[in-house]
Chains A and B, each alone.
Chain A
Amino acid sequence: MSLLEVRELKKRFGAVEVLCGVDLALEAGEVLAVVGDNGAGKSTLIKHISGVYRRDSGDIALSGEAVSFDSPKEARRAGIETVYQDLALADELSVGANIFLGREPIRRWLGLLPVIDRGRIQQETQRLIDSIESHIPDGATTVAGLSGGQRQAVAIARALYWDAKVVILDEPTAALAVMERENVIKLSRMLAAKGVGVIYIGHNLVEILEVADRIAVMYRGRIVHVTRSEETTQEELIKYMTGYSERQENAA
């Protein structure tokens, strides 16, 4: 039984069929990269898994149980965390406040009023950022002052802390400098090593081949090819991404 299974997932926006029957299986402790050209349906696929969109038909099962999320919040509660391309951090809040946003630990002030347990947030955040060695200076720093890579680390740390079963990384290195890319790759591997199933959406094939255990290629709303990363090459992946191999087969 796979950690996450997607079967025959279909979605249509008006006249356009964006997903035409997607099958995908994600195992615990692996990084599964999903690659594909713009408009291949990668974003739409992960938005179904993370509860943003509702499917027209098909099944999604988490740890063998069929699930159907009405909101990202529900998906999150079930253990599916998404780190979005734009990171979605609140700039004016501290690193700790962002990691705990929406799930703040509460204590009773004077035994009465519910207030945010800032001491605990500070403590846990410090422990967390020490454990991922991500060069975040201080859990109390506001996110506004952080670099792109540090922000990415905060977003991943958030997933790490909340014991996610599945973490979806949507183009996590899109806006990063080369040095910081390495750090994100390291963090992704760290998530997998902790038994998390990681779905890694990306463009850069060199990076994908480095980070992923397996690679799924999407083309026009379908997964056309799944392979172990050590058994494939950039050239092969590009063939599937551009539909070249499909045309070859049709011609044959």
Chain B
Amino acid sequence: MAAHDANLSLGRRMKAPAATRTRHLRKWGLPVETLVLGLTLALWIVMALTTSTFLTANNLVNILRQVSIDSIIAFGVLFPILIRGIDLSVGSVVALSGVVCATLLTAGLPIPLAIGVTLLLGVAIGSLNAFAVYRLGIPAFIITLAGLQAFRGGAFLVSDGTSVFGLPKALSTFARAEWLGIPSLFWSMLVIGLVLHFILSRTRTGRYMVAMGSNHESARRAGINIKRIVFFAYIISSVTACIAGMLLMARMSIGSPTAGVAYELNAIAAAVVGGASLFGGRGSVLGTFIGALLFATIANAANLLGIDSFWQMVATGVLIAAVVYVDNLHKRRQSGVK
């Protein structure tokens, strides 16, 4: 209480500077995103100066390809996170959608139809998660953890435990294609990212997700259709995972039941490092992309430098903890709590 009161008087005295500061921050974007972007750029500069292999067209295109699929999954996962939920099933959905689409294609279904059916599968999985969370009251963490197991199992069942070969040539041609020197996968990511960014920042649905994650009760009292928002968030998450699964399938030319293991954790890490809060209400598509770019850069750098991939995992973990800590520190300072 005393701290609260002190806060008030502090706020009044510092009113003008506080206002300028917010304007300043808005102009330069969220601090944590700027920090992560700075880290990424620093890593790029160091790598460009110390190795001859990093700054080659081939390697950069490789990073872009890698970051594309990671980002698409992370964009999707951002939506449940925004409403204070989570989706741990996306890695398994990547595998399931890959083998389902591949199986349909090898059975002779035309490409658009196979893609359509796989997307519908995504809608169904998302609806199932949302139903469990909204109607049955199962915590998102638990139901999507169950999904992580079940959909992986489903992927093995559909593919009979092996990879599905013999995909149409057009798919791998697409996955390798470049327009204006930029890989088609990256273009796909851009389109999906822009659409999701648009939804989040410009539409009522996007605003209601932030409102709901920020204060569930205020959203309910404002007359927001909570059910619709919950379904929307989980369907977005599953459908983007399906899109990523099909892109990965196209890139590898196989539908593999072991694809996408632990991708859900990378996706969540990218969103969180990019400024999303696991307590809901905070996060952006751009920040998530920057987060994914940092992780893709670290993986690529470690690869080029021949650093043990175990160290890479340790570094990633430390980084997540550090970034979230710095972000919290900043937020606490901003709100005046010492």
Chain A residues in the interface with B (C-beta under 8 A): 71-73, 76, 82, 84, 86-93, 97-98, 101-104, 106, 109, 113-116, 118, 135, 137-138, 140-142, 144-150, 175, 177, 179-180
Q: State which of B5, B15, B26 has its C-beta within 8 Å of the C-beta of A135.
A: B15
> Which residues on the A side are within 8 Å of B207 (C-beta)?
93, 97, 101, 104, 116
A101 and B15 form a contact (CB under 8 A): no
B211 and A147 form a contact (CB under 8 A): no
B204 and A141 form a contact (CB under 8 A): no
> Which residues on the B side are within 8 Å of A103 (C-beta)?
222
- Given A145-B335, A147-B7, A175-B4 in contact, is the A90-B214 Cβ separation under 8 Å? yes
A93 and B8 form a contact (CB under 8 A): no
B303 within 8 A of A: no
B210 and A93 form a contact (CB under 8 A): yes
B202 and A115 form a contact (CB under 8 A): yes
B19 and A141 form a contact (CB under 8 A): yes
> Which residues on the B side are within 8 Å of A175 (C-beta)?
4
16 interchain pairs (CB within 8 A)? Answer: A88-B215, A88-B217, A89-B218, A90-B210, A90-B211, A91-B281, A98-B218, A101-B218, A101-B219, A102-B224, A115-B203, A116-B202, A135-B12, A147-B8, A147-B11, A177-B8
B213 within 8 A of A: yes
> Which residues on the B side are within 8 Å of A140 (C-beta)?
22, 26
A138 and B223 form a contact (CB under 8 A): no
A88 and B11 form a contact (CB under 8 A): no
Q: How far is the CB of B255 from chain A (nearest CB, A)?
A: 35
CA A93 to CA B282, docked complex, whole Å: 9
> For window 1-16 of chain B, which residues contact chain A by CB distance below 8 Å?
4-5, 7-9, 11-12, 15-16
Q: Residue on A with the closest CB to B6?
A: A177
> Which residues on the A side are within 8 Å of B211 (C-beta)?
90, 92-93, 97, 101
Dominant secondary structure of chain B at its interface with chain A: helix
Q: State which of B18, B203, B204, B219 has its C-beta within 8 Å of the C-beta of A145.
A: B18
B221 within 8 A of A: yes
Q: How far is the CB of A53 from chain B (nearest CB, A)?
A: 14
CA A89 to CA B217, docked complex, whole Å: 9
CA A141 to CA B217, docked complex, whole Å: 21
B203 and A177 form a contact (CB under 8 A): no
CA A147 to CA B214, docked complex, whole Å: 17
B334 within 8 A of A: yes
Interface centre among A98, A103, A115, A147 (most CB of B within 10 A): A147
> Which residues on the B side are within 8 Å of A142 (C-beta)?
22
Q: State which of B9, B19, B214 has its C-beta within 8 Å of the C-beta of A91.
A: B214
> Which residues on the A side are within 8 Å of B215 (C-beta)?
88-91
CA A75 to CA B118, docked complex, whole Å: 44
CA A33 to CA B250, docked complex, whole Å: 68
> Which residues on the B side are within 8 Å of A147 (C-beta)?
7-8, 11-12
Q: How far is the CB of B31 from chain A (nearest CB, A)?
A: 14
> Which residues on the B side are within 8 Å of A82 (C-beta)?
221
> Which residues on the A side are within 8 Å of B210 (C-beta)?
90, 92-93
A76 and B223 form a contact (CB under 8 A): yes
A114 and B203 form a contact (CB under 8 A): yes
CA A146 to CA B221, docked complex, whole Å: 21
CA A115 to CA B203, docked complex, whole Å: 5
B221 and A88 form a contact (CB under 8 A): yes
B222 and A92 form a contact (CB under 8 A): no
Q: Residue on A with the closest CB to B203?
A: A115
B282 and A104 form a contact (CB under 8 A): no
A90 and B203 form a contact (CB under 8 A): no
B335 and A141 form a contact (CB under 8 A): no
Q: How far is the CB of B300 from chain A (nearest CB, A)?
A: 33
CA A145 to CA B22, docked complex, whole Å: 9
Q: Residue on A with the closest CB to B222?
A: A102
Q: How far is the CB of A65 from chain B (nearest CB, A)?
A: 21
Q: State which of B7, B23, B202, B334 has its C-beta within 8 Å of the C-beta of A109.
A: B202
A144 and B335 form a contact (CB under 8 A): yes
> Which residues on the A side are within 8 Å of B224 (C-beta)?
101-102
